[in-house]
Amino acid sequence: MLENNHIQIRDPFIYPNKDDGKYYMYGSTDKSIWGAGTGFDVYIGEDLNNWEGPYPVFRPMGDFYSNENFWAPEVHQYNGTYYMFATFLRKDNHHRGTAILRSDSLLGPFQPHSDGPVTPKEWDSLDGTLYIDEEGLPWMVFCHEWVQVGDGEICAVRLTEDLKGTVGDPVLLFHASDAPWPTSFKHQRLKSEHNYVTDGTFMFKASNGNLLMLWASFVNNIYAQGISLSVSGEITGPWVHDETPIYQNDGGHGMIFRTFEEKLMLTLHAPNQTPNERTKFIPILEENGKIIVQKQDQE
């Protein structure tokens, strides 16, 4: 068994499996996600602190469309099957994109389902997440990276019902700078002196019907977690943004899940420096459609 403080992981994603009463923790599990990709692993536990594993759930075959930057796997159940949304650097043009893998088991093995990444081929994109709208139609919400556009974007695109492709073009939801809390930074590769990050999208429907989006950026070069609200309740927005981050202690790429005791939990990785990334679990409350942190993590 391993405790959280012994597991290096970025972009943690928790799947509570009611069938066996266990939590499945996925994430970016390569020792260095910035280079060659090994695959993705899962950890299995009952108390969010002690975990068995790691168990391999994805290892690429020789003809796989990527061999580096294996990032941010999420696992969703859809029409009775498990789908993994994950980011990869394409071999053919060296642009990142989110692809969709499939398995009949939470333990994998996950196999390619979409024909490569479903984000636009010439875009640098990452961190796609699944959202099912009120009509039962699947969407992917993802980030168009700041490395390509300067002011990072969050976009949404309709998926085909079999999750193998897209319907129409992506819709721009907002830029990072539209929110009041992220701060800009200079980067020598880009002409603009005002670059803003968008990272780690995740959708959450509050009990009062509010549609919330978690996403990450930086405040004075410190990784932080923010929340935005769709005014219309539709994925296309318009979106309004919290004034301040919900977490700004060098952690982000969060998601929300409900424990087996029916308590809401925010999980993210912190700090944001390799190889020190660890999963943080932060109890939260929902009040009038807003997320309130019960106890701010100060580690």
The token pair at 208 is 């009062």
Write the pLDDT tens digit of every residue in 88-130: 999 999 999 999 999 999 999 999 999 999 999 999 999 999 9
Share of the chain above pLDDT 90, in %: 93
Beta bridge partner(s), residue 279: 269
Write the pLDDT tens digit of every residue in 139-177: 999 999 999 999 999 999 999 999 999 999 999 999 999
Q: In the structure, what pLDDT confidence band is assigned to residue 188 with cuts at 50, 70 and 90?
A: low
d(Cα 179, Cα 154) in Å, to the nearest integer? 12
The token pair at 85 is 């949304």
d(Cα 73, Cα 55) in Å, to the nearest integer? 14
d(Cα 176, Cα 201) in Å, to the nearest integer? 12
Share of the chain above pLDDT 70, in %: 97
Q: In the structure, what pLDDT confidence band is assigned to residue 295 with cuts at 50, 70 and 90?
A: low
Write the pLDDT tens digit of every residue in 197-216: 999 999 999 999 999 999 99
Q: Please name each of the domains of the chain with its CATH number.
A: 2-293 (2.115.10.20)
pLDDT exceeds 70 at position 62: yes
pLDDT exceeds 80 at position 217: yes
The token pair at 246 is 């919900």
The closest alpha carbon to 200, from 15, 8, 9, 12, belongs to 12
Q: In the structure, what pLDDT confidence band is assigned to residue 191 with cuts at 50, 70 and 90?
A: low
Strands 138-144 and 96-103: unpaired
Instruction: Find the mean pLDDT for residues 183-191.
Output: 77
Q: In the structure, what pLDDT confidence band is assigned to residue 298 with cuts at 50, 70 and 90?
A: very low
Residue type for position 222: I
Asked, as a colleague might, if the bond just before 271 is cis with ω within 30 of 0, I would say yes
pLDDT exceeds 50 at position 297: no
> How many other C-beta atoms can be found within 10 angstroms of the C-beta atom of residue 155?
22
Q: In the structure, what pLDDT confidence band is assigned to residue 190 with cuts at 50, 70 and 90?
A: low
The contacts found for 159-165 with CB under 8 angstroms, 24 or more apart, are 159/118, 159/130, 161/137, 163/78, 163/83, 163/100, 163/102, 163/113, 163/114, 163/138, 164/100, 164/113, 164/114, 164/115, 165/114, 165/115, 165/118
The token pair at 258 is 């409900």
For residues 160 and 97, the answer to whether their CB atoms sit within 8 Å is no
pLDDT exceeds 70 at position 287: yes
pTM for the predicted model, two decimal places: 0.96
pLDDT exceeds 70 at position 290: yes
pLDDT exceeds 70 at position 277: yes
Write the pLDDT tens digit of every residue in 46-55: 999 999 999 9
